[in-house]
Structures are given as C-alpha cells and as structure tokens.
Amino acid sequence: MKSYEDLEGDGGSDIVGQVGKLGEKLRSRLDKITHKVALMSGKGGVGKSSITANIASCLADRGKRVGILDADLNGPSIGHLLGVGNDVKLEMKEDGLNPGIGYQGIRIMSMDMLVKTADTPVMWTEEANATAVWVSTMESTAIRELLADTNWGELDYLLIDMPPGSDRIDNIRSLIPELAGAVEITIPSQLSQHIVTKSITKNNKMGVPIIGLIENMASYVCPHCNEEGKLFDGEDVLKLSEKKSIPYIGKIPFDTRVSQTSKMGSLFYTQFKESVTGKAITETVDNIEKFINK
Amino acid sequence: MKFLCIPCDVKMEIQTEGIMPEEKANLAMKFKCKKCGHSIAMLTNQFETEFVSKLGVEMGGTTDVSSSPMSAVGSSLAQAKEELKSTNPEDDLVWTEEALDRIKKVPFFVRGMAKKTVINFAVEHGITTIDAKVMDEVRQKVGM
C-alpha cells in the first residue's frame, strides 16, 4: 500500500499554496506602510482610542500619511472619533476595499463601517450556541482581512487601535512581524496600572518592542484658565515605567474638550495643539518618532 | 490529509463540484477514486472543523466566490452591509432570504464550494431564483 509521501500533491485543497497566497497578499499591502504601531492597554476605559486618534492627528499635522486600523472589533470607536460614520458608502474595488477618510485625510478601517446599521453589533452568527472558538477564529480572520484587503495605499504610519486586554497582540504580532512596537496606555489608578503591568510583561516575553508608557488623564486641566489639578488617586506611573524598564513617553492631562471636538468636525489636537494637553500630545509623538527613528 | 483507495492503491480525488456540507459548523468533504469510481465522505466534528478554519484557507482550493476582498467578513458577518457582497460574479441570481440564511450557516472555508455548486445547478437548470427548495434539490442531487 502506498504511503503519504508516495501520493503526489496534497489532499486536493492546496492548503500550502493558499496559505502562501494569503501571506503574499498581506505582505504586498504591508510593504507600502513604513511604520506599524500598536496602541494598547490591559484595561478598558483609559482613553486609548482618543489618544490613538489624537496621535494620528499630530502625525498628520506633521505631514505624515496616516492610517488607523480599528482592531477593537466589538467596540469600534475610531470611525466615530474621526468623522467616519456607519453611513459611509463602501467603495469595493477588485483589489480591496477603500478605507474611510477621516479628519485630516487619515485613512480608517473599522468594523463599524462594515455592519448594516450604527447599532448593529459584530456577530459572526446569530445562533445562541456559537462556540467561543468559532468566534475567536472569525475575529482572527477578520483582522487579517481588514489589514490585507484594505486599500491603505502608501502610508508613513499605520496605527493599530487594539481592544482592551492583551490577547489580540499575538494575532497582530504574527500578521505584522515587523511591528515597530507597542505603546502602552494607562491612567494613574492602581487598578489600571496593575492590569497594564500584565500587558507589558506579556509583550516583553513575546519580544514585542515597547515604545513606551503613556499616562493618560494624568491630571485635570481647566479649559478656561489652564490650571491643572489631580484627577485620580494612584501610584506614580513614572515608577511603573522605571520598574518595567520602559520609557515614560507622555503625561497627558484630561481635557473635557477631547470628547467634544470630534462632534464639532475635527480632532482635539488640530484645534488645541497649544493647550497643555495639546502640548503633551506633541511631546508624546516626539518620543514615539524618536524611538522609531533611532 | 490525503485519502488512498486501498483496492486500487491510488489517491482519491477531492470532489469540489458536488460538496454540500451541512448548514452548521461541520465539514463534509467528498473524495472519489478515479480508477474504480468509489466515493467516500470525510465528516468532521465541530472541533475538528474549527481547527481547520483557523488556517483561513478554503477546502477544495480557492473559488471565484472567495477571491473577492473581505470575503470571509462579508459572508460571515450576521449583518453586513450589502456593498461587501457586491463583487461576487453570480449577483444576477436572486437568493431568497431563507436560502441566504442557509448558505450563511455553511462554514466560510467551504461556503465558496457550496455556493458554487448551487449556482452551477441553478444555471444548468435555468433557475433564476435560488430558494430553499432549490437548495434541497441540490443536496439530494449531490447526495451529501
């Protein structure tokens, strides 16, 4: 009886060939993007998406071509922040789907653009007995398609707005081995720092370069007099960065105008780059660019 | 994975035309010996099927249906925008809601083949609207 090796070819599905083709398609897309940066936090609600959007705004302000992949599949907010609503008309070309164009020409791809209505949740099946494995499989497939099938064009930066938690970084790391690094974001609260520590440890173990730690909502800035006050009781975030031997790249105060400006047709940074918070964002982006270009 | 016809000692060939998997997360593949014509079906349980799906490939080789951008997202999202599906070449055919629901339940990595089988059947028989009855006929014809 013949053995496996005696039979030519594979089972008929050309699995190896297909995997190769998928890889080539992704590679040809990523090769046109100079720097890929993941923005993440172990904890939800730390302002990760707002920071991502305003970092993108600052980079665009410097003349960089910027895109954002909203990897938070189940809680997408990048489109909302950059003025690309669910009602955006999708432009499907033979070689890919055109990204949404947000404020300052920032290119966006987000699940929010793909679902039927603004309040439609991302569901891969409406059957109640869907397994977690199936959902997780579909999420990985979706991330690959959002990366590989979006017509990003030539970009200087692709920012990846990660979901809360550190589980998705495995997926991103395998798809983008040349990832420039991850920016970790925390707020001063002890709980947030406790969780972001795990994310930092995981990235260190996986060999994902950590660009640095951002302390968001570090203080409160009065929009009228620019006076700063304490917002959270917590431990010193600078100490955490020293303990984990990662750069402390930004101390960004809370400003109520951050959430208001996206409703007014622009991002906070473009309107208030000379404010205390605006200057903190500028400094953070300086540090990110320094890390990447060193 | 390869299948060998023991009496003929030749590799069995995957049958891409005629695959009609169950409309749930199970994989059903048909193989045939080209020498003696004997057919077998490989059936996998839910966990084996999910394992295959992690590769992100399509069983039986890629089909036209799967080569369009965002094909897995567009065809697997419970409620995706229509534009995501608009590049499929077989859009002239009308699918009833029930038929669409049934094809959506086929795992994405064999959905292309399943869809192609139904479309070919419809074209051969001059059918312009694909409904549940047509899908039942296809299933009966391909014997899966």
Say yes or no to pLDDT of B65 above 50: no
Contact B39, B5 (CB under 8 A): no
ipTM over 0.90 threshold: no
Contact A94 B87 (CB under 8 A): yes
A226 inside 8 A of chain B by CB: no
What Cα–Cα distance (Å) separates residue A166 from each residue in A149, A151, B136, B143?
A: 24, 27, 45, 46
- Kindly determine whether residue B13 and residue A97, on different chains, have CB atoms separated by under 8 Å: no
Query: Torsion over CA of A213, A217, A221 and A227, rounded to 10 degrees?
Result: -60
Q: How far apart are CA B113 and CA B59, in angstroms?
A: 8
Three-state SS annotation for A7-66: CCCCCCCCHHHHHHHHHHHHHHHHCCEEEEEEEECCCCCCCHHHHHHHHHHHHHHCCCCE
B61 and A4 within 8 Å at the Cβ level: the answer is no
pLDDT of residue B144: 46
Total-model pTM: 0.80
Long-range contacts formed by A83-88: CB under 8 A, 24+ apart:
A83/A262, A83/A265, A84/A108, A84/A110, A84/A113, A85/A118, A86/A112, A86/A113, A86/A115, A86/A117, A86/A118, A86/A120, A87/A118, A88/A113
Q: Between β-strands A181-186 and A210-221, what pairing exists: parallel, antiparallel or unpaired? A: parallel
C-alpha dihedral sign at A277, A279, A282, A283: negative
pLDDT digits (tens, 9 = 90+) for A20-69: 888 888 999 999 999 999 999 988 889 999 999 999 999 999 999 999 99
Residue A127 clears pLDDT 60, i.e. is over it: yes
CATH number belonging to domain A42-293: 3.40.50.300
- Token look-up 């496996």 returns A4
On the 0-12 / 13-18 / 19+ scale of CB atoms within 10 A, B72 is: buried
CB atoms within 10 A of CB B57: 21
B79: nearest Cα among A130, A126, A140, A73: A126
Closest CA to B139 of B12, B41, B23, B13: B23
Query: Does A125 contact B at CB distance below 8 Å?
Result: yes
Task: For chain A, give the mean pLDDT.
Answer: 90
DSSP state of B32: E
In chain A, how many H helices and how many E strands? 10, 11
Average pLDDT (B64-70) is: 65
- Please answer whether residues A96 and A149 qualify as being in contact, where contact means their C-beta atoms are separated by less than 8 angstroms: yes
Scanning every residue of chain B, which has its alpha carbon at the shortest distance from the alpha carbon of A134?
A: B50
So where are chain A's domains? Answer: 42-293
Q: What is the pLDDT of residue B61?
A: 63
Q: Which residue has the higher pLDDT, A291 or B114?
A: A291
Q: Which two tokens stand for residue A107?
A: 């290119």
Locate the chain B residue with the closest alpha carbon to A121: B79
